[in-house]
């Protein structure tokens, strides 16, 4: 039986941190499925991790479906989330078509990068039976608009806007939120006030769950982001590193405040 959105909601209710990692192929997906990771994200980070680009912008819906199908074939237990790629949100019809393609390829939830103006799109996706995770904070598809991979929501007005957007997206039907590179205090506030599970990356140990890019966790990224931790450094196998990540998240030892989070 696969984990579902109900699994994540139950974790939030019971205060049990949700564990998520990315995967892009069947081999790594099998490794995570055999561990006790709750969710795999087939992220458009595949553009950087697998394809070697500097950003996620070159990733297309065809790339996403190809990698998601491989991950789906390698799994039976984990919940699968997948990214709507760059410009998949250009209009509602495109978002429905691309979201639908991801669902048909095995996604149980579609992650949409939201940086203002996505409420109606999320309402339409959710209304059509496409479960949405709304990604807030540093949204990598907007890297050039943001002027780099930078922490978001540091100024009071930006923090207020992000909180209001989180509330609006939840009201529009988002069943999960993901906060990336957001000051710890703000991430904690959003997580505590949201009715849906909130997953963090460079956010707060008090989020309902944590996600990292698998290659950062197993020491394969030459210059990993500050919010990541190489769990392979103290493990003697890939499975051991994944288990150590899951254990550190569940015991709230990771992320460490001030080390993997931002002020």
Closest CA to 171 of 123, 225, 219, 221: 123
Question: What is the CB neighbour count within 10 angstroms for residue 223?
Answer: 4
Residue 7 or 221: the one with the smaller Cβ distance to ligand KIV is 221
Binds ligand KIV (CB under 6 A): choice among 38, 165, 180, 206? 180
**Closest Cα to residue 101, out of 58, 62, 67, 47?**
62
The least distance separating ligand KIV from the CB of residue 32, rounded to whole angstroms, comes to 14
Q: Which residues of 119-149 are buried (b: 16+ CB within 10 A; e: fewer)?
A: bebbbbbbeeebbbbbbbbbbbbbbeebeee
State the catalytic residue, choosing from 165, 180, 184, 256: 180
Least distance CB 112 / ligand KIV (angstroms)? 11
Minimum distance from residue 181 beta carbon to ligand KIV (Å): 10
Position 208 contacts ligand KIV (CB under 6 A): no
- Please choose, from the candidates 53, 78, 77, the residue with its C-alpha nearest in 3D space to the C-alpha of residue 63: 53
Contact region with ligand KIV (CB under 6 A), list: 41-49, 61-69, 74-82, 121-129: 41-49
**Which residues in the 19-38 window bind ligand KIV by CB under 6 A?**
22
Smallest gap from residue 135 Cβ to ligand KIV (A): 6
Give the nearer residue to ligand KIV in terms of CB position, either 33 or 113. Answer: 113
Taking the complex as a whole, the smallest distance from the CB of residue 171 to ligand KIV amounts, in Å, to 23
Which of 12, 135 has the CB closer to ligand KIV? 135
SS3 content of the chain, % helix, strand, coil (to 5): 45, 15, 45
| Residue (5 or 21) nearer to ligand KIV, CB | 21
Considering Cα of 200, then 202, then 204, then 210, what sign does the dihedral take?
Answer: positive
Output 82 or 244, the one with its CB closest to ligand KIV. 82
**Tokens at residue 31, please?**
């490794």
Q: Which of 3, 19, 45, 191 binds ligand KIV (CB under 6 A)?
A: 45
**Is 180 an annotated catalytic residue?**
yes
Residue closer to ligand KIV, measured from CB, 165 or 180: 180
Instruction: Please measure the distance between the N-terminal and C-terminal CA atoms of the chain and give it in whole angstroms.
Output: 40
Distance CA 249, CA 236 (A): 19
Which single residue is written with the structure tokens 């479906």? 65
Q: Which of residues 182-201 bind ligand KIV (CB under 6 A)?
A: 201
Q: 179 - beta bridge partners?
A: 136, 200
Rounded least distance, CB 39 to ligand KIV, Å? 11
Interaction site with ligand KIV (CB under 6 A): 22, 41, 43-45, 83, 178, 180, 201, 211, 213
Q: Which residues are catalytic?
A: 180
């Amino acid at each position: 039986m696969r984990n579902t959105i109900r699994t994540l909601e139950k974790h939030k209710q019971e205060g049990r941190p949700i564990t998520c990692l990315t995967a892009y192929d069947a081999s790594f997906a099998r490794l995570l499925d055999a561990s006790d990771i709750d969710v795999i994200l087939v992220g458009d980070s595949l553009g950087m991790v697998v394809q070697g680009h500097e950003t996620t912008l070159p990733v297309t819906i065809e790339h996403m479906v190809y990698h998601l199908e491989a991950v789906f074939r390698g799994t039976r237990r984990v919940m699968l989330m997948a990214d709507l790629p760059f410009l998949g949100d250009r209009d509602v019809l495109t978002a429905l078509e691309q979201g639908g393609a991801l669902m048909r390829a095995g996604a149980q939830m579609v992650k949409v990068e939201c940086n203002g103006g996505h409420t109606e799109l999320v309402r339409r996706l959710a209304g059509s039976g496409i479960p949405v995770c709304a990604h807030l904070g540093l949204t990598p598809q907007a890297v050039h608009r943001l002027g780099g991979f930078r922490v978001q929501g540091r100024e009071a007005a930006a923090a207020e806007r992000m909180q209001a957007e989180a509330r609006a997206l939840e009201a529009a039907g988002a069943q999960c939120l993901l906060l990336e590179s957001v000051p710890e205090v703000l991430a904690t506030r959003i997580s505590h006030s949201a009715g849906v599970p909130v997953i963090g990356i460079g956010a707060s140990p008090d989020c309902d769950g944590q996600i990292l890019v698998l290659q950062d966790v197993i020491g394969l990224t030459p210059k990993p982001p500050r919010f990541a931790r190489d769990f392979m450094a103290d493990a003697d196998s890939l499975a051991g590193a994944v288990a150590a990540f899951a254990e550190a998240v569940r015991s709230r030892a990771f992320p460490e405040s001030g080390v993997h989070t931002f002020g």
